[in-house]
Structure 1
Amino acid sequence: MNLRVLALLLILAPTSLGAVEYASRLAEARWTVSTGDTLCELAQEIPRYGTVRFQARPGQPLQFTVEIRTPLPGPDVGHISLRPPQWRHDLSPQALEAVSLAASDILLMLQRDRALELYYALEAGHEVILTHPDAGRGADNVRVVISPVRFREVLADFRACQGDRIYLDFVSLREWRVHFDFDESKIREEDQSTLDQVVRHLTTQPDTRVVVGGHADEQGSPQYNEALSLRRAQAVQRLLRQEGVAADRIETRAFGETWPLEPASSEAAWALNRRVDIWLTR
């Protein structure tokens, strides 16, 4: 084979482009908040690639989705990592777990814990990097850069939207609320009279039951706050059981920090958010 033919074959042979990166330019990177009766959304468009979204529906935990313009040919696996921007020398890179990717317009959907992990990483200033196989463009991999630029500027609006409404998957006949001290699940003496009212209603209305929802403020990790909110709900459950309420009439739920009454980051707001909601239902 002469050199001219060999050169022609090399030109015509498929070539790998390595990793193709999709990212917003620094001056164009932005997050937008959309609000509605049934959805609060925090989104960033990635030029030529798609859109990433944090979504919170009333009564449901936060989720994170990646919408892609060109779907993968089949289900696959991707990887997420955290990367400090060039101007943040105080942050360290971090590799997160692998994620399952779908062959659809919605490439990726992460539920509460993993969504919150990315949410707090962006709030702290990390870039979130999603790497996955290419969808037929000739590259080995696609690298998507989700920018933290202007993320914190819109968080107040996003949190306010989430705090505006609570959706219940049951009909609430009446509700009560008790509060807790910082990092405590012990029922306070001043809230005993409220719980006495709950017991009286359950005693006089044997066809009713209660849903006990525990909450925490935003201080601490999401995982810790979810466990703390469960302990608070269980403390109310134990007291009701001690007063003779049957176990099958009490349902406990743990909402962690996802339903703040007051979205502000202040001592007064945190005191309101450390609570258990008690809903009377049938």
Structure 2
Amino acid sequence: MFNKIAIVTTLSLVSLPVMADVFGAGIENSQWYLSESAFDCSLSHEVPGYGKAIFSHRAGESLQFYLEPALPLMKPGRGQLVIEAPSWRPGLAPLPVGVVAVADGRRPVEVPPGQTHQLVQGLLNGMVPTVTRAAWYGNEPIRVRVSSINFASGYRAYQQCVGGLLPVNYDQVQRSRIPFAPGSARLSAADQRLLDDIVLYIQTDTTVERVFVDGHSDRLGSRIRNRALSEERANIVAEYLKAQGVPADMITVRAHGDRYPASSRPADNRRTTIRLQRQGDRPELQQANGYGGEPRNG
């Protein structure tokens, strides 16, 4: 539903009506659609004439809300986010949520997790979250209203989906690091929990085809000893992965001693890194030296 309404603004202590282009679904066309997997749960809402409003919860991350317009209607800058009463509940005062940044791109409005939960609560209470921002073209502001009709049933299904999400996503486990104490190749309980998350991800994501396990050491001690210690560290991680169900033919084990220091701090160099490679990934991004991004720590 698209219409124009008058908004009252204050300018030099005089109230003036300002017309606005308003986009929102009505009773007859307000629907919420759930997309679910072990990797992501998304609850999307069609805003007629504008695009989509989407709640998205990726594995290992927090719930987020964003707008995805068909065309860039809002001018980049500072928009206003409020929770309003629907037209059939007059007399309820709107609840200001705060300022939202409106940017260029496919998702011009992305709401932080704290405010996202306010939107959810407002929708469950039958209210209407609304984003207002100046238009790219013309003097009339753009108002996007998110309907609460049929939201509650969709949200219940979304909650069930969230309960089945993996504890981590690919970006979080693509590159991981197990730290070690001086001279040690022992896994701590925290290390094992990290490896368990990696195993669960590998077993769920069938596009993962290779697991690179690279052992490293600091430069304290002889090069021969460091090489042997790095190999021991790599092997203990690889053996744990295999014991938890990762096929041995997926795993490539390499030991590098002190050849590839991550930093000048010895503690940063006593490590084993685990890298996942999915189908279609570029092999050159899976080098052994630990560069190219910050790994996840145990």
Task: Give the TM-score normalised by the residue count of structure 2.
Answer: 0.51
In structure 2, how many angstroms separate the alpha carbons of the residues matched to 1:46 and 1:131? 14
| Counterpart AA for 1:210 | A
1:153 maps onto 2:153 in alignment: yes
| Counterpart AA for 2:160 | A
- Correspondence for 1:60: 61
Tell me: CA distance 1:161–1:90, structure 2 relative to 1, closer, same or farther (3 Å): farther
Unaligned runs of 5+ in 1: 1-15, 174-203, 214-247, 249-280
88-97 or 41-50: which moved more?
88-97
| Deviation, structure 1 residue 90 | 8.3
In structure 2, how many angstroms separate the alpha carbons of the residues matched to 1:122 and 1:73? 23
Tell me: CA distance 1:105–1:84, structure 2 relative to 1, closer, same or farther (3 Å): same
| Counterpart AA for 2:159 | R
Percent identity of equivalent pairs: 22
- Retained in 2: the 8 A contact 1:66–1:106? yes
| Deviation, structure 1 residue 207 | 3.3
| Deviation, structure 1 residue 77 | 1.2
Tell me: CA distance 1:40–1:90, structure 2 relative to 1, closer, same or farther (3 Å): farther
| Deviation, structure 1 residue 95 | 1.5
1:76-225 matches, within 5 Å, as 76-88=77-89, 91-136=92-137, 138-168=138-168, 169=172, 206-210=186-190
CA deviation profile, 1:120-155 (whole Å, cap 9, x unmatched): 11111111111011122x242011111101100212
In structure 2, how many angstroms separate the alpha carbons of the residues matched to 1:205 and 1:163? 35
| Counterpart AA for 1:21 | V
Tell me: CA distance 1:88–1:205, structure 2 relative to 1, closer, same or farther (3 Å): farther
| Counterpart AA for 1:134 | A
Task: Give the TM-score normalised by the residue count of structure 1.
Answer: 0.53
Tell me: CA distance 1:113–1:17, structure 2 relative to 1, closer, same or farther (3 Å): closer
In structure 1, how many angstroms separate the alpha carbons of the residues matched to 2:157 and 2:74? 37
106-115 or 41-50: which moved more?
106-115
| Counterpart AA for 1:126 | M
| Deviation, structure 1 residue 65 | 0.7
In structure 2, how many angstroms separate the alpha carbons of the residues matched to 1:118 and 1:76? 21
Unaligned runs of 5+ in 2: 1-16, 179-183, 195-266, 268-296
| Counterpart AA for 1:130 | V
In structure 2, how many angstroms separate the alpha carbons of the residues matched to 1:18 and 1:89? 20
- Retained in 2: the 8 A contact 1:72–1:102? no
- Correspondence for 2:245: none
SS in 2 for 1:20: strand
SS in 2 for 1:82: strand
| Counterpart AA for 1:140 | E
CA deviation profile, 1:218-262 (whole Å, cap 9, x unmatched): xxxxxxxxxxxxxxxxxxxxxxxxxxxxxx9xxxxxxxxxxxxxx
SS in 1 for 2:71: coil
160-169 or 26-35: which moved more?
160-169
| Deviation, structure 1 residue 67 | 0.7
Say which one has the larger Rg.
2
In structure 2, how many angstroms separate the alpha carbons of the residues matched to 1:73 and 1:163? 35
| Counterpart AA for 1:94 | L
| Counterpart AA for 1:142 | I
- Correspondence for 2:72: 71
Root mean square deviation, CA, Å: 3.1
